[in-house]
Amino acid sequence: MYPINRSAIKRILITRTDRIGDLVLSTPIFPAIKKRYPESHVAVLVFQETEPIVQGNPWIDQVIPYDKQGRHRSWWQTLLFGLKLRKENFDVAIHLHATNRVNIISWLAGIPVRIGYHIQLGSHGRLDSFLTHTIDEKKWQGKKHEAEYNFDLLALIDVPKPEPLQLHFPLEVSSRETLKRILPERFNQRYVVFHPSASCVSKRWSPERLASVADKLARDYEVLPVIIGEKEGVFHAAQMQEFMNEDALNLAGKLSLGMLGWLLKGARLLISNDSGPVHIAAAVGTPVVSIFGRNQPGLSAIRWRPLSQNSSYLQKDVGCVECLAHNCQIDFKCLKELTVNDVLHEARKYEPFLV
């Protein structure tokens, strides 16, 4: 790799084209870049559906949405997308998540310095040849938090990791007003949010047990359980509510990302499987109890735990060396060994917020 002329860095493109939580966990890099390059123009390329997470971020000058599922789905449209980026004259691109498409897009855009991860082509099919500077991808080792791994790439342009790492999630007034319109009339009681869904069955604790936790907290602290979820999470939310004995408010499928931010901001606590809402809650300062199943390095709480002062997680080590995810051969023992009392005990650590 040739040396990078840091004095020539004026326009920086960051790409993060994956899930909600991953993007939220990337937000600490933006103030760090601005501190190191205060006169720089910082742009971020994200999926169109996650764009609200970075809109309004005070350390980002430009948001570039990429619609992989829609108008940019074909390789031809991706080619045109990359060529159109040439007019932006970026000096450096940093790819926080390794994908063929973003590597090619930055090459098509004529960005002279393209930084990303070196991953073996044979095993993962990654096109590292489109990058000019790479580091070995070691996230699978799970030795530190995802938000810290981002700074391994930024070290190549001399951006140090700050302490502590601060997440950011925008809270737009318009989203708060929209949320108010869908809430029941006179909605002003204390509430706890529950998220029974996750991206894989190996990350989803029993909705019946989560319902028991919600019932108990509702009775003990007179809080209203509020259930959230999106896409297939609407089904998981309905499952949880069906198991409940106490009244609950089910908002699954009804919230935009902006509305979700405000809902979590007003909550006394979030109890959730390992998923995006955990990191949004941490970003807006709401206490979190995050439930983990998989304990394999790179998948465990060491890398994906909530990153805030008032947060904790639960995870059982059942001796698995390799997680087979949805093909689990021991009936998701890591999740089934986590009891209702385990979660209630953890939730009660946040009693000052509940009363």
Give me the pLDDT at residue 317, please. Answer: 80
| The pairing of beta strand 92-95 with beta strand 113-118 | parallel
Give me the pLDDT at residue 12, please. Answer: 98
Strand partners, 222: none
Residue 150 lies in a domain: yes
Distance separating the N- and C-terminal Cα atoms of the chain = 57
Secondary structure element (H or E) that encloses residue 207, with its range: helix 207-221
The domain boundary, picked from 127, 157, 187, lies at 157
Strand partners, 11: 41
Residues 132 and 236 in one domain: no
140 contact partners, CB below 8 Å, separation of at least 6: 297, 298
Residues 330 and 254 in one domain: yes
Averages of pLDDT over each 10 residues, the chain, 355 residues = 92 96 98 98 97 96 92 90 97 94 95 90 63 93 96 97 96 95 86 95 94 98 97 96 97 97 97 97 98 88 94 87 73 87 97 96
Q: How far apart are CA 313 and CA 311, in angstroms?
A: 7
Place of tokens 């909600």: 20
Give me the pLDDT at residue 127, please. Answer: 61
Residues 224 and 110 in one domain: no
Residues 107 and 181 in one domain: no
- The domain tally of the chain equals 2
Predicted TM-score (pTM) of the model is: 0.94
Look up residue 161 and give its DSSP letter.
Answer: P
Give me the pLDDT at residue 323, please. Answer: 73
Determine the structural domain holding residue 195 and report its residue range. 175-354
Residues 188 and 324 in one domain: yes
Q: What CATH number should be reported for the domain holding residue 270? A: 3.40.50.2000
- What residue type is assigned to position 124 of the chain? H
Phi-psi region of 10 (alpha: psi -120 to 50; beta: other; left: phi over 0): alpha
